[in-house]
Amino acid sequence: MQFLIADTFTASLARLTRDEQKAVKTAAFDFQLNPASSGMQFHKLEKSKDKNFWSVRVGSDIRLIVHKTQSSLLLCYVDHHDKAYAWAERRKLETHPKTGAAQLVEIRETVKEIAIPVFGLGTISSPPTQFVEERALFCDVSDDDLLICGVPTDWLDEVRRVTTEDKLLGLVEHLPAEASESLLELATGGMPSALIEMEEYKHRAVEARRVSYSSAQSDREDRTAWMQLDSIHAEYAARNVIDRTIPESTNPLSHPDAKRRFRVITSVEELERALEFPWDKWTVFLHPEQKKLVEREYSGPARVSGSAGTGKTIVALHRAVFLTHKYPDTRVLLATFSETLSNALHDRMRRLIGNEPRLAERLEVSSLTTLGIRLYTQQFGVPKLLAREQLAALISDILGSAPPTKFSVSFLADEWWQVVDAWQISTWEAYRDFRRLGRKTRLSEKVRQSIWSIFEQANKRVAAGDLVTNAAIFHRLAGKFDGSIRSPFEHIVVDESQDITAAQLQFLAALGSGKPEGLFFAGDLGQRIFQTPFSWKSVGVDIRGRSRTLTVNYRTSHQIRQHADHLLGPEVSDVDGLTEVRKGTISVFNGPTPEIESFSDHGAETSAVSTWIKTRITGGVAIHEVGVIVRSEAELPRAKAAVEAAGYPYCVLDDHMRIATGRICICTMHLAKGLEFRSVVVMACDDEIVPSQPRIEAVTDEADLEEVYATERHLLYVAVTRARDHLLVTSGGSPSEFLDDLRSC
């Protein structure tokens, strides 16, 4: 008997208490070992329209809802007795007549009216107004196309009555995921992939028929043309684009759309992994579009992009595991730019391959900095790293005996780090001709020559002290491994690639370029907060034609995403001209409207934040699922005061610490990169803090202000998009100008 779990089961499991979850997991393991055990107390649900629904007693009040046939047992849902029964009475498992995918469909007649939820206020009933006929959103879409998108037959009329985006958001919560995503994409002007594939099929089929009529000179040629048409038909039928040739023997649970919600469990270890972290559905259920990117064969370096919450990190994790399986005699690296993110990736990878521990022998997860120092030590000895304070003191000393200059020590140090050191420039000619991308202050050749004498002396003093920088480490490693047949890794996957440095990318290119599926990147230009932009092509990494954008956001609610998007433009371009369009992104679930609050002083802000945190936790959010984020370390005391007032334990995240269970996480916006929480407070968004006044004051040329403001917006965008369900953004004084953008929805 086939044993499966549904995503509705893992989601409902996460809402139970710890003790209740423990009892349910024990019952699930018993099912896995012996689905037909006589010890299971099955009770047939007579009121359910689906006669294959049964309940199983777990303790005194908890009931497991299962769908049981002769060939399969599916864990569907778990809750307290009455709620579990009510859920089952409103559902049926059926095969979609058009797509062939298995769907858990909510029975239409049980939904009296689709109410639009207004969180915190209850359901609002609109007062009587003068009748104005509204245009239906999908009036130009045929029933056939709606069915191709996965809309259940019983819900076609309801979909046709939708006239506003708010009504659509209320409706899609009742529909299967593929239908929800397709309708949201249609409503926002996009074209769902299911319809694109169908149009492609129709075009090719029509063309094949045209050829058969126009060029057939004999019965033999005519038969050849029709054989071509049959071949096209069979190809698209195999991909479930068309339904009329799907064999009756095809398992509806094997359809790509079904696999995203139903997972066949083949071992106790696999079940344990699925139930250990019920919120992390990605460990079990992968979106079909993500799966395509994970398993695609690329002819060169490739990149997947997308706004926050679209699953880029998930694709990177699964891609690394996929490559480890596909090439069993090679080593795979999953890397990112910071130690904090590396720790988070390592924890997620442990969950993903928990039942295949031997994969970890060939799959390394590391920050690039840690990896670089380790390899450098192996090849050249322990490096003596140059600190920023050392360089500033060194430049200040050089200026003491140099001709007067209008440039400050701060500007010269930044120029050295971001241009001279980042690109390992060692000659006047190289500095004179270098395109200073990301450095907006214009420098004439004469001015460059005057400050090069300072940089030349700085380079000599750094070399004399046997000091190295991170850029120098990666530059030297790139030279060591470029063209080498003894590379430490054959396949490299990089997460948060928008923040890697030019030297790091040069090193990665030396390791992976020219190898089959050697380089794969995941990142979002809109979340670039550490590095100035530079040309990837200039260091030998060309991703043109192999760059894809994810558009389905399944981590962040529609309301949070909608507000956050106002911080950025509709599209972001890199130096090489590749553009990421952001306006087509859709979120597939609803949530409360973000709260953007300004208070008169720090005390009022502290009191409000502590109350908000207590409300979230008493409402069912786990303590470790709450994050409090501030702009910099200077604002950490304000975050600590708010959490202490709420009375909960907390940890302050640093470069090496992992998020601790049972503690609220407090961190800066930079360290929040790559993390996620169910509930987030972004505190201290005061004027002169966001954007950072010290950064603004350090600008010596107005042209640099554009880059400062852009990265400050990116920082706030990163912070607010760490939230899944609940978001509070506060200021304790004069509010940041960016808060007006967040409120503009």
DSSP of 281-304, one letter per residue? Answer: GGGT---HHHHHHHH---SS-EEE
Q: What is the mean pLDDT of residues 122-129?
A: 40
d(Cα 12, Cα 281) in Å, to the nearest integer?
12
pLDDT score of 702 more than 70 = no
Tell me: the pLDDT tens digits for 621-650? 989 999 999 999 999 999 999 999 999 999
Residue 114 binned pLDDT confidence (cut-offs 50, 70, 90): low
pLDDT score of 317 more than 50 = yes
pLDDT score of 23 more than 60 = yes
Give the sign of the dihedral formed by CA 81, CA 84, CA 86, CA 92: negative
| Alpha helix positions (H), 124-192 | 143-148, 156-160, 165-172, 177-187
Exposure string for 106-116, b = 16+ CB within 10 A, e = fewer: bbeeeeeebeb
Tell me: the pLDDT tens digits for 468-498? 999 999 999 999 998 777 889 999 999 999 9
* pLDDT for the residue numbered 128: 43
Least confident of 221-225, 266-270, 433-437, 728-732: 221-225
Length of the chain: 745
Q: Specify the 3-state DSSP secondary structure of 595.
A: strand
Tell me: the pLDDT tens digits for 273-282? 677 766 567 6
Q: What is the mean pLDDT of residues 536-559?
A: 87
Does the predicted model carry a pTM greater than 0.85?
A: no
The DSSP string of 13-61 is: HHTS-HHHHHHHHHHHHHHHH-TT-TTS-EEE-TT-SSTTEEEEEETTT
- The token pair that represents 478 in the structure block: 């790139």
> DSSP strand E in 654-732: where?
664-668, 677-682, 723-732
* pLDDT for the residue numbered 711: 87
Residue 514 binned pLDDT confidence (cut-offs 50, 70, 90): confident
- The token pair that represents 153 in the structure block: 């037959």
d(Cα 644, Cα 653) in Å, to the nearest integer?
16
Pairing of β 42-44 and β 117-118:
unpaired
d(Cα 584, Cα 363) in Å, to the nearest integer?
34
Residue type, 355: N
Residue type, 422: A
Which run of H or E residues covers position 385? none
Pairing of β 117-118 and β 677-682:
unpaired
* pLDDT for the residue numbered 209: 57
